[in-house]
C-alpha cells in the first residue's frame, strides 16, 4: 500500500517536471542523452519519437539534413563526424517539423527559429571554452529608449574579471551588436563573448574591457543590406546607440567615456549597424569592426565623404577599422567589393578572410581575432 502510494507519487513527480510538455521524452530512468560528444569528436544525437515516421538531423556542420535511424524502442539516433571542434546550431526535423533537442538546455536565442547548440571541445581548449581562469560577469539590464518612443530595451553587459574588486577603476567599452533575428542574448549564449574575453584577458592578449550587447532590432523592416531602405534603419539604430545606449551604459557602468576607449562591432545586420554608427560618429569611436557585413558603394560615397576625402587624416584618426568575412558567406562578394572600395580610397583597414559562411562559428573567430587589437 505504502509502495503503491510511492509509485503514484513517483509517476506524478515525473509528470510534474514535464507538465504537459513531455513529447519526445522516454520514461524516467531512460533519459535521452543528446547530444553526446564522443572522444573521437564524433557526435551522437538522439530523439525519442516512437510514432514518428521520419527524423532527420539538421546541423550547421552538415551540408544538409541527415536521416536518423529508428531503434526498436522508438529512439531515433545518428552518429556523425568526427566534427571540427566548435559550437554549432542544430535541430531535428521530425516528420517535416523542426524541433529543438528536448533535453538540451543549450539554445540559440533568436526571433525566428528554434535551435539547440552542440559544443565540441578541442584537444587544447578553444578560445570560447570555459577554462580555469578568472571569469567576468554578465549583467542583464535595460534602458528606456527615447529613440524608440520610450519602450524598454534589453541589454546584456559583460564586465571583466576584477571589475567588482576595483571600484575606482574605469574600463574601455566595446558595443557589440548581433545579427538579423538575433536577440541581446545571442552574443553571450552563442557567441560566447564573455568566455572569449575571459580567456584572451587571462592570456594577456586582450585588455580588460566592458562589452555591451544591445538588442539590434529596431523594427524597421529592410529588404536586405544592399537595399535602399537600409539607410533609415541604420540611421535610427545609430541614433539609439549614441543617444540612448551609450549614455545609459556610461551612467551605470565604470566606462572611460572617450573615443580612444570606445569601439563598435557587430555581425551581419549588426555589422552594417556598426559600420554606419561608427562612420557617422568618428568623433566617438576610434575602433570600428564589421563582421560578415558591408556598405554599398552608393551608400558609402553618398554619406561618408568626409571619412574618405582625406584618407591621411582618417587613417591617423582611426585606431582600427576591421573588416572580416568567410569566403563562403552569401555576402562575401559584396563585402570583398567594399574592402576593395576602401583600398581604392586609400583607407587603412585590417581585414580577415576566412573559410566558412555566414555563421556564428566565424563570428566567434572574428571577435577572438579583433578583440586583441582594441584599446592598444
Nearer to a second copy, 142 or 311 (CB): 142
Binding track over 180-199 against a second copy, x by CB under 8 A: xx-x----x-----------
For a second copy, the binding residues in 318-337 under the rule CB under 8 A are: 330-331, 334
Element (H, E) at 69: strand 69-70
Pairing of strands 262-267, 287-291: parallel
Element (H, E) at 298: helix 297-303
For a second copy, the binding residues in 245-264 under the rule CB under 8 A are: 252
Residue 272 CB, shortest distance to a second copy, in Å, is 10
According to the binding rule CB under 8 A, does residue 164 interact with a second copy?
yes
Contact status, residue 57 vs residue 45, Cβ threshold 8 Å: yes
Residue 64 CB, shortest distance to a second copy, in Å, is 8
Nearer to a second copy, 253 or 281 (CB): 253
For a second copy, the binding residues in 83-142 under the rule CB under 8 A are: 89, 91, 93-100, 102-103, 105, 107-115, 130, 135, 137-142
Residue 360 CB, shortest distance to a second copy, in Å, is 9
Q: What are φ and ψ of residue 118, in 5° steps?
A: -120, 130
| Nearest by Cα to 127 from 289, 368, 352 | 368
Residue 281 CB, shortest distance to a second copy, in Å, is 25
According to the binding rule CB under 8 A, does residue 9 interact with a second copy?
yes
H helix runs in 174-245, sequence order: 186-189, 193-202, 230-240
Rounded to whole angstroms, how far apart are CA atoms 318 and 276? 15
According to the binding rule CB under 8 A, does residue 281 interact with a second copy?
no
Q: Before 82, cis peptide (omega within 30)?
A: yes
For a second copy, the binding residues in 12-71 under the rule CB under 8 A are: 12-25, 29, 49, 51-52, 58, 60, 64-65
Q: Which residues, in sequence order, are CB contacts of 235 under 8 Å at separation 6+?
A: 276, 280
Residue 31 CB, shortest distance to a second copy, in Å, is 8
Element (H, E) at 12: helix 2-18
Task: List the grid coordinates of 376.
Answer: 592598444
User: Running DSSP on this structure, what letter comes out for residue 110?
Assistant: B
Nearer to a second copy, 111 or 301 (CB): 111
Q: Which of 221, 312, 344, 355 lies at the binding interface for a second copy (CB under 8 A)?
A: 221
Q: Site size for a second copy, by CB under 8 A? A: 77
Amino acid at each position: 500500500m505504502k509502495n503503491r502510494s510511492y509509485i503514484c507519487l513517483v509517476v506524478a513527480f515525473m509528470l510534474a517536471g514535464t507538465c504537459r510538455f513531455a513529447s519526445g521524452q522516454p520514461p524516467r530512468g531512460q533519459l535521452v542523452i543528446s547530444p553526446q560528444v564522443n572522444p573521437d569528436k564524433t557526435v551522437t544525437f538522439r530523439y525519442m519519437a516512437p510514432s514518428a515516421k521520419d527524423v532527420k538531423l539538421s546541423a550547421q556542420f552538415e551540408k544538409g539534413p541527415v536521416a536518423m535511424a529508428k531503434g526498436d524502442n522508438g529512439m531515433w539516433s545518428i552518429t556523425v563526424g568526427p566534427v571540427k571542434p566548435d559550437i554549432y546550431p542544430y535541430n531535428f526535423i521530425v516528420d517535416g517539423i523542426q524541433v529543438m533537442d528536448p533535453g538540451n538546455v543549450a539554445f540559440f536565442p533568436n526571433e525566428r527559429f528554434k535551435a539547440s547548440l552542440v559544443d565540441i571541445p578541442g584537444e587544447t581548449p578553444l578560445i570560447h571554452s570555459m577554462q580555469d581562469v578568472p571569469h567576468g560577469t554578465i549583467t542583464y539590464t535595460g534602458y528606456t529608449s527615447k529613440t524608440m518612443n520610450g519602450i524598454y530595451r534589453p541589454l546584456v553587459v559583460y564586465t571583466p574579471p576584477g571589475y567588482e574588486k576595483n571600484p575606482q577603476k574605469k574600463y574601455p567599452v566595446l558595443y557589440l551588436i548581433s545579427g538579423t533575428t538575433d536577440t541581446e542574448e545571442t552574443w553571450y549564449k552563442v557567441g560566447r563573448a564573455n568566455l572569449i574575453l575571459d580567456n584572451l584577458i587571462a592570456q594577456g592578449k586582450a585588455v580588460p574591457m566592458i562589452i555591451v550587447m544591445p538588442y539590434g532590432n529596431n523594427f524597421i523592416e529592410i529588404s536586405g543590406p544592399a537595399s535602399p531602405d537600409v539607410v533609415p534603419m541604420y540611421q535610427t539604430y545609430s541614433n539609439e546607440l549614441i543617444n540612448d545606449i551609450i549614455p545609459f551604459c556610461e551612467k551605470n557602468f565604470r566606462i572611460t567615456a572617450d573615443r580612444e576607449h570606445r569601439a563598435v562591432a557587430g555581425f551581419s545586420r549588426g555589422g552594417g549597424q556598426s559600420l554606419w554608427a561608427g562612420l557617422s560618429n568618428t568623433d566617438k569611436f576610434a575602433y570600428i569592426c564589421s563582421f560578415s557585413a558591408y556598405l554599398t558603394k552608393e551608400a558609402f560615397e553618398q554619406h561618408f565623404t568626409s571619412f574618405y576625402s582625406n584618407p591621411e587624416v582618417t587613417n591617423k584618426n582611426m585606431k582600427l577599422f576591421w573588416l572580416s568575412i568567410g569566403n563562403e558567406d552569401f555576402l562575401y562578394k559584396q563585402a570583398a567589393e567594399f574592402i576593395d572600395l576602401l583600398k581604392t580610397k586609400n583607407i587603412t583597414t585590417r581585414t580577415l578572410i576566412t573559410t566558412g559562411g555566414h555563421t556564428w562559428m566565424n563570428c566567434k573567430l572574428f571577435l577572438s581575432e579583433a578583440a586583441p587589437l582594441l584599446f592598444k
